[in-house]
């Protein structure tokens, strides 16, 4: 019994330390960027030793992946909520796309997911970690096709096409001098594209 309690306590300490490191790294990556953030700074912010950082993560890249993955996970909730508010499956899909672009207005998320990720973890790393969002799109497209709201098709290719387009639009907004105007243009254009895909 005592051994089991000790193991549980150790697991809880490990989880708490990992969470503290990811929290600290998120704050620093969002504020200073990937290149300017050192593991020494992360350790100091999390109030742990640098050795503790390496105990839980192989290096800065893996820590960035943990932060990126948590950002993606966090985006899933508002996207699902926007989708659930609409009864029509294609209207729901459009609402989810708009919610994605809205979420991408957050400055910290922009810095981590849209501006620094390509250099930090590369395209393959990004796509691997963004897979849950792409899977959500595929499911929503499948439901819309089954309901006759869009032409029947395999959902994968259209999901990849639209996901790539929306991510590119989000990156353009993140780099724009006037983000509000760029965001409005992005919402209008994706709305026109999705309306064009709907069946008469």
Q: Note whether 65 and 48 are same-domain residues.
A: no
Q: What is the CATH number of the domain that holds 34?
A: 1.10.10.60
How big is the CA angle at 198 (ends 192 and 200), to the nearest 5 degrees? 115
Q: Note whether 73 and 150 are same-domain residues.
A: yes
Task: Give the pLDDT of residue 2.
Answer: 52
pTM: 0.89
Q: Indicate whether 3 pLDDT > 60.
A: no
Q: What is the CATH number of the domain that holds 99?
A: 1.10.357.10
Which of 24-33, 45-54, 96-105 shows the lowest mean pLDDT across its residues?
45-54
What is the distance between the alpha carbons of residues 170 and 132, in angstroms, rounded to a whole number? 18
Q: Note whether 187 and 91 are same-domain residues.
A: yes
Q: Note whether 10 and 96 are same-domain residues.
A: no
Task: Give the pLDDT of residue 197.
Answer: 97
Q: Note whether 42 and 117 are same-domain residues.
A: no
Ranges 4-8, 16-20, 93-97, 196-200, most confident: 93-97
Q: Indicate whether 4 pLDDT > 80.
A: no
Q: Note whether 15 and 81 are same-domain residues.
A: no
Of the candidates 88, 74, 98, 75, the residue with the CA atom closest to the CA atom of residue 140: 88
Residues 155, 93: contact at Cβ < 8 Å?
A: no
pLDDT in tens, 50-75: 988 998 999 999 999 999 999 999 99
Average pLDDT over every residue of 5-13? 67
* Structural domains in the chain (count): 2
- Expressed as residue numbers, the domain containing 44 is 1-57
Task: Give the pLDDT of residue 84.
Answer: 97
pLDDT in tens, 139-174: 999 999 999 999 999 999 999 999 999 999 999 999
Q: Note whether 91 and 28 are same-domain residues.
A: no
How big is the CA angle at 84 (ends 82 and 87), to the nearest 5 degrees? 115
Rounded to the nearest 10 degrees, what angle do helices 155-175 and 179-197 cross at?
A: 160
Q: Note whether 45 and 143 are same-domain residues.
A: no
Residues 119, 59: contact at Cβ < 8 Å?
A: no
Q: Note whether 48 and 106 are same-domain residues.
A: no
Q: Note whether 110 and 35 are same-domain residues.
A: no
Q: Note whether 126 and 43 are same-domain residues.
A: no
Task: Give the pLDDT of residue 178.
Answer: 98
């Amino acid at each position: 019994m005592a051994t089991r309690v000790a193991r549980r306590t150790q697991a809880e300490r490990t989880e708490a330390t990992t969470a503290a490191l990811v929290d600290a790294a998120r704050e620093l990556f969002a504020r200073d960027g990937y290149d300017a953030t050192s593991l020494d700074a992360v350790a100091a912010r999390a109030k742990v030793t640098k050795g503790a950082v390496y105990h839980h993560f192989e290096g800065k890249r893996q820590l960035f992946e943990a932060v990126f993955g948590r950002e993606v996970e966090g985006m899933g909730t508002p996207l699902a909520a926007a989708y659930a508010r609409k009864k029509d499956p294609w209207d729901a899909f459009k609402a989810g796309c708009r919610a994605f672009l809205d979420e991408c207005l957050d400055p910290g998320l922009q810095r981590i997911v849209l501006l620094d990720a390509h250099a930090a973890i590369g395209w393959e790393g990004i796509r691997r970690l963004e897979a849950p969002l792409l899977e959500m799109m595929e499911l929503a497209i499948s439901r819309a096709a089954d309901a006759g709201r869009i032409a029947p098709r395999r959902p994968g290719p259209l999901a990849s096409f639209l996901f790539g387009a929306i991510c590119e639009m989000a990156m353009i907004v993140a780099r724009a001098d006037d983000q509000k105007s760029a965001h409005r243009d992005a919402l209008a254009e994706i709305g026109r594209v999705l309306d064009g895909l709907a069946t008469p």
